[in-house]
Structure 1
Amino acid sequence: MRISPRLWFGFVIWAAYVIVIVAVSLLSGVPFPDIGTTAEFTWRGAVMDLAAGAALLIVITSVLGWWRPALFDSQRSHHKWPIFAPIIMFVAAIANLLVTDWSQFDASFILSLLALGMLVGFCEELMARGLLLTAFRSQLSEGWVWFLTSALFGLMHLANALLGAPLLASLAQAAVAFASGTAFYIVRRVTGSLIWAMLLHGLWDVSVFAAGHAAVAAPIGAILTPMIAALSLAVVYWVIKGTDEKAPVRAVTANRITP
């Protein structure tokens, strides 16, 4: 790492990312409730701001030299079985896609959803369970790392109220995001890699937007979301227990770097 992690770095990165996302979204002129209703609104209202966020995060991660700790854990969780909660999320996402009437989407619309999925998985996971996690591990225990990264991930969704979403709906989405963020955290701890969390996150969001626009039956994801949230919160303790992922803080001297 070029620059040793510090707790406050995480809050600065989080604030910078939220500011960029909100600013580009406001410039797009697309209200949040309209995202996912047409190809144009999805490109302008979601893909553009996520692309700007991705560029910001790539620069930050490269400058700090945090790619390795942001993407990979040095140790996996001792308990593998909690992965069943994210697996249920994966099954629900596939079910959402199966009940979607894809004839209602043209090529541009499908491409916009794919771009949204790839970017949202990359951006939100790298920001929350990548860079924030790396910064917080420098000074906090893993329990606090899980809680703060999930809480800030949830709070980030309150910004949707500034983009036209009802406040109560944004509050509910923030609470759900806290729990779904926990599911993605479990994926990272069990697999040892953020990449699988990125893929699940992207698939989940694509399935939600697709089913929300053209479901021919009740979206399974909407039905199972409360259960996934409750299960993730119930089992996260076991992926935290016994872990020691605190990032090493190195002191630079005139002659050498000492641990």
Structure 2
Amino acid sequence: MKTDETFRVQPRVWIGVVIFIGYVAVVYAVQALSGIPYTDLDSSGANLFFGAGLSLVISAILLAITTTLLGWWRPALFDRHRAAHKWPIIAPAIMVVGLVLNLVATDWGSYDGAFFAASIVLLLVGFTEELTTRGLLLTGLRSRLSEVWVWLITSALFGAMHFINIFTGQAVGPTIQQVLLAFGAGTIFYVLRRVTGSLIWAMILHGFWDFSTFAVTHGTPGFLAGFGGIFEILAIIFALVSVPVVVRGADERLGAPRAALA
């Protein structure tokens, strides 16, 4: 299928997969070299920045360079057509409610300046993980696969990337739970991309969601703390129900360009 789009490098499945593997490798390497266990990230601002934030800063720079060299910014950030139905936006809207509840329940008094600054850096996770999975990997997959496979593979690999937390100190049980929830959250972010036609909103929601889930576990959370997770599960269920609607009739396959960029 031919399109009007042009790229410096033509999208290929293997390129998207290599970028995904490279991102996971960089994040794991930087976090492992820090020597800070995953379970100790909330001990101080320094632990949080060097144990997690630094890997996001480095990977964000590398991803931006990679996307520019490939010429994939447009297909990574924007769909050609939005989903035909808008009501699936309810799924990410439910997640926003959970996000707000997390922030309301957070013990903000337990934060000092350094810890808060390091926490802000965590917002980069929305840019890095979304650009990697539902941006560049998605672009590569769309060169050959139907949209239902694009959703499934991007969401599954997004969940699977969280297995690296086992190697940085998190127990197996909580990690498996995190992987499953990440698959569901990835589906929510995919639905948000299809409904709005842009990855940018998913980047924003993802960044603030992760910030809120980390924030609420610091210090002594308020009585609303558990409700954020409940709303996340409700949002996941709604998103899974919505997937057939947002993939039906999707015309996002990326074919050979008419002309290559110089």
Q: Counterparts of 2:89 and 2:42 in 1: how far apart (Å)?
A: 29
Q: Is 1:157 aligned to 2:157, yes or no? A: no
Q: Counterparts of 1:82 and 1:34 in 2: how far apart (Å)?
A: 37
1:101 is aligned, of 99, 103, 107, to: 107
Q: Counterparts of 2:132 and 2:256 in 1: how far apart (Å)?
A: 20
Q: Is 1:135 aligned to 2:150, yes or no? A: no
1:178 is aligned, of 178, 183, 187, to: 183
Residue 39 of structure 1 and its aligned partner are, at CA, apart by 1.3
Residue 225 of structure 1 and its aligned partner are, at CA, apart by 2.4
Unaligned runs of 5+ in 2: 1-6
Equivalence for 1:6: 12
Q: Counterparts of 2:233 and 2:93 in 1: how far apart (Å)?
A: 15
Q: Is 1:79 aligned to 2:88, yes or no? A: no
Equivalence for 1:32: 38
Equivalence for 2:151: 146
The letter for the 2-side match of 1:12 is V
Q: Counterparts of 1:200 and 1:37 in 2: how far apart (Å)?
A: 25
The letter for the 1-side match of 2:57 is A
Q: Counterparts of 2:43 and 2:252 in 1: how far apart (Å)?
A: 42
The normalised TM-score by structure 1 is 0.94
Q: Is 1:56 aligned to 2:86, yes or no? A: no
Q: For 1:131-169, what per-residue CA distance to the aligned partner results, in whole angstroms no more than 9, with x for missing partners? A: 001000000000000000001101100011111111122
Equivalence for 2:229: 222
Q: Counterparts of 1:71 and 1:52 in 2: how far apart (Å)?
A: 20
The letter for the 2-side match of 1:178 is F
Q: How many residues align?
A: 252
Moved over 3 A (4+): none
The normalised TM-score by structure 2 is 0.93
Q: Counterparts of 1:170 and 1:72 in 2: how far apart (Å)?
A: 31
Q: Secondary structure at the match of 2:218?
A: helix
Q: Answer yes or no: is the 8 Å Cα contact 1:36–1:210 preserved in 2.
A: no
Unaligned runs of 5+ in 1: none
Q: For 1:223-259, what per-residue CA distance to the aligned partner results, in whole angstroms no more than 9, with x for missing partners? A: 22222222211111111111110112237xxxx66xx
RMSD: 1.3
Identical pairs, percent: 47
> Bigger shift: 5-14 or 242-251?
242-251
> Bigger shift: 198-207 or 106-115?
106-115
Q: For 1:15-56, what per-residue CA distance to the aligned partner results, in whole angstroms no more than 9, with x for missing partners? A: 111110000000111111222342121111110011111122
Q: Is 1:236 aligned to 2:243, yes or no? A: yes
Q: Secondary structure at the match of 2:144?
A: coil
Equivalence for 2:252: 245
Q: Counterparts of 1:156 and 1:133 in 2: how far apart (Å)?
A: 15
> Bigger shift: 62-71 or 33-42?
33-42
Q: Answer yes or no: is the 8 Å Cα contact 1:2–1:65 preserved in 2.
A: yes
Q: Counterparts of 1:228 and 1:45 in 2: how far apart (Å)?
A: 30
